[in-house]
Structure 1
């Protein structure tokens, strides 16, 4: 491990220098928890297509893809042109704009149950607003959520997302109104049957942490049936899956119509932006002005950057392409190719406890020699905390560094968001980099084969 870290520090020397400066500016030296890395994170200077270049001008195949926001890859010409045109018109005129209308039309065309749209500045804001809407409409305080599912960092979303989270700063009354369940239908049914104060069930429709702990479409379908039977709202958090697993998201693929859906990432074409969409009777609680309903039941919602013209321009350009189905199809095709190529490397090296798995354009790499997992398997019977860190933390840490040294940057070293511009050549180069990275770990005595 020591030699590997020395190689990393030498190859990414300027990132190390910048990381040292960052520690005096940012808590923990980073601007996002997920970017924290030992001995330091990479600083990225530019990106194009499926590639990016760091502060030392090392070229890497990028599988972060803007934390999953860039289905079309970096710098897609249609998005660049749309943003360039809008930025010359103005970045924020402080009023409504026609681009937002087209943006909303595309969302309503694609997302099931999207009768009304309210834009936000992020996915976290979207889930915050959706949960408040659910409580206001039902008059009930409690929310059912599932272990490991991520819905942002706000008070009503944080409990239950991370098994290691101490819940610092969260009050007892907030924690008391969040029911965190394992993703088991019998527990959902029993909880709904014995509690009459549940406002909503919120979930990531493909499973915890964008499918690291996968859920079948049948689970979402059954939860929809149960919530409808008990008059409880279903909120699908499609911040990651929206427009990716199908043009209309995971609920559309499963044939499910949620009461509310939360969107972000691909929604805004890689720029900041989110939205809550859903049934008119729920969403109209946000109506103001001449359309104001019962003032006592109305929810106030502001946001300086709601439907910002730059985000709207990028979002329209992106969703017009997404609506054709072609970008999602290409990305999913390449994602499946990537998972199989990685598994072939793992099989060739006879590595027990390693696997690559996922859902189309989202691929996860799991590495834990103590687990009963073979290449190509979906890990089952593995503790949630272990799954969320990608297996054995020592191995995944070393593998991340080794992959980066060999020119591949997986998100947090264990997940890949594949774009429509990743090619078979990128996949083969990634497989070769994985093989070289595993050879480095073997030489360091960290894995056996």
Structure 2
């Protein structure tokens, strides 16, 4: 009897090729909500489970070698297992992982950021980008005495309660599960590239700070019009609002000094994460000395109790993250690194677009610097 050919679907082929990942995913779902620890790892039919990585490649539990186009959610500009970063972390491990005290690495790390980032006169470390944007907003409110943060449609600033409004369509949605209406009411959302709308909202009053991805929303998914950042700088100064650049992704990637150095516009505060910690957990707020000094204790009990901006944090400037960050930023100081990454991304975008045209597929690839969509 003749055999009837059975078509194999893409999903079936994927399940067979990545069977070990499926097993691990099913196990994880028993103890981890949805089986994932980051919303960005939600993939259909299931996510890949990786066992090791090196350079621009990673290997899953089934031994499949994969090209990693995202490398650590964008935190590994040097690739996986960069020798200098790995050596620095290994050396620090011998001395301790958590001193619960000041250490030389935190000052060296901060000095490297001040050296590279135009807006950075002071630096305060956090454990993530989300914490960094939360702290920057708090500083803006404390400095101005105003309650509201202005942000832009489609711009991502982490997952803290003040960052999610307007991040995804519909941009005018006024509620988000788990976030009180009162909190949502302290965030104003306007379209990007409309400086008249920004100026009008600032004129209404109450805006402590303006936060923006200087690349455009969601790392250049929604590009900014030429000149918009300078216009934003001007109206922020005009109305006395703190201008915050969220450089969690663009920092040290758009240039050694981030998007602000590349584009020639300096904010009052800058939020950093990802590359700043060399692939380990870590973030920072950098910026004007008078703003960051709101975090400092003084020989004044009234100031310390009533005016100082509070910011504890168990893992702030952790020695391992500091070691990785210093080793990474030392290499990021060479602009040839960013130029090489930009060239690779440009080739990738051009190649993808050529495939779309060749196969008559709808869509296109775009992006800036070493990002692509």
Deviation at 1:2, TM superposition (A): 7.4
Matched, 1:187 2:193: no
**CA distance in structure 2 between the aligned counterparts of 1:49 and 1:210, rounded to whole angstroms:** 23
Q: Deviations over 1:351-391 (max 9, x none)?
A: 2x311111121011xxxxxxxxxxxxxxxxxxxxxxxxxxx
- The one of 187, 196, 219 equivalent to 2:205 is 196
Q: What does residue 115 of structure 1 align with?
A: 121
Matched, 1:302 2:312: yes
Structure 2: unaligned runs, 5 residues or longer: 1-6
Aligned pairs for 1:111-190 within 5 A? 111-163=117-169, 167-183=176-192, 184-190=194-200
Deviation at 1:291, TM superposition (A): 8.4
**CA distance in structure 2 between the aligned counterparts of 1:217 and 1:257, rounded to whole angstroms:** 15
Q: What does residue 100 of structure 1 align with?
A: 106
**CA distance in structure 1 between the aligned counterparts of 2:206 and 2:140, rounded to whole angstroms:** 12
Give the TM-score, by structure 1 length: 0.78
Q: What does residue 334 of structure 1 align with?
A: 344
- The one of 340, 356, 370 equivalent to 2:365 is 356
Contact 1:287/1:293 (8 A) holds in 2: no
Q: Please, what is the CA RMSD of the aligned residues? A: 1.5
Partner secondary structure for residue 358 of structure 1: coil
**CA distance in structure 1 between the aligned counterparts of 2:78 and 2:302, rounded to whole angstroms:** 40
Partner secondary structure for residue 25 of structure 1: coil
- The one of 255, 261, 264 equivalent to 2:270 is 261
Aligned pairs for 1:314-393 within 5 A? 314-351=324-361, 353-364=362-373
Q: Deviations over 1:187-242 (max 9, x none)?
A: 1121112x111101101111111111111452111111110111111000000010
**CA distance in structure 2 between the aligned counterparts of 1:80 and 1:211, rounded to whole angstroms:** 30
- The one of 28, 32, 37 equivalent to 2:34 is 28
Q: Deviations over 1:109-129 (max 9, x none)?
A: 111121110000000000010
Task: Choose 247-256 or 215-224, whichever is displaced more.
Answer: 215-224
Matched, 1:247 2:256: yes
Partner secondary structure for residue 364 of structure 2: strand
* Residues 197 and 60 of structure 1: CA distance in aligned 2, closer, same or farther (over 3 Å): same
Contact 1:221/1:254 (8 A) holds in 2: no
Q: What does residue 246 of structure 2 align with?
A: 237
Partner secondary structure for residue 326 of structure 2: helix
**CA distance in structure 2 between the aligned counterparts of 1:74 and 1:290, rounded to whole angstroms:** 46
Q: Deviations over 1:148-175 (max 9, x none)?
A: 1111111111111122675011111111
Give the TM-score, by structure 2 length: 0.94
Q: What does residue 215 of structure 2 align with?
A: 206
Partner secondary structure for residue 188 of structure 2: strand
Contact 1:199/1:233 (8 A) holds in 2: yes
Contact 1:285/1:293 (8 A) holds in 2: no
Task: Choose 64-73 or 97-106, whichever is displaced more.
Answer: 97-106
- The one of 11, 16, 22 equivalent to 2:17 is 11
* Residues 79 and 7 of structure 1: CA distance in aligned 2, closer, same or farther (over 3 Å): same
How many corresponding residue pairs?
Answer: 362
Deviation at 1:342, TM superposition (A): 1.2
Deviation at 1:348, TM superposition (A): 1.5
Contact 1:234/1:260 (8 A) holds in 2: yes
Aligned pairs for 1:272-291 within 5 A? 272-288=281-297, 290=299
Q: What does residue 4 of structure 2 align with?
A: none
**CA distance in structure 1 between the aligned counterparts of 2:228 and 2:301, rounded to whole angstroms:** 37
The runs of at least 4 aligned residues of structure 1 exceeding 4 Å deviation read 289-293
**CA distance in structure 1 between the aligned counterparts of 2:317 and 2:300, rounded to whole angstroms:** 20
**CA distance in structure 1 between the aligned counterparts of 2:179 and 2:29, rounded to whole angstroms:** 26
**CA distance in structure 1 between the aligned counterparts of 2:121 and 2:352, rounded to whole angstroms:** 42
**CA distance in structure 2 between the aligned counterparts of 1:105 and 1:285, rounded to whole angstroms:** 19
Deviation at 1:326, TM superposition (A): 2.1
Structure 1: unaligned runs, 5 residues or longer: 365-449
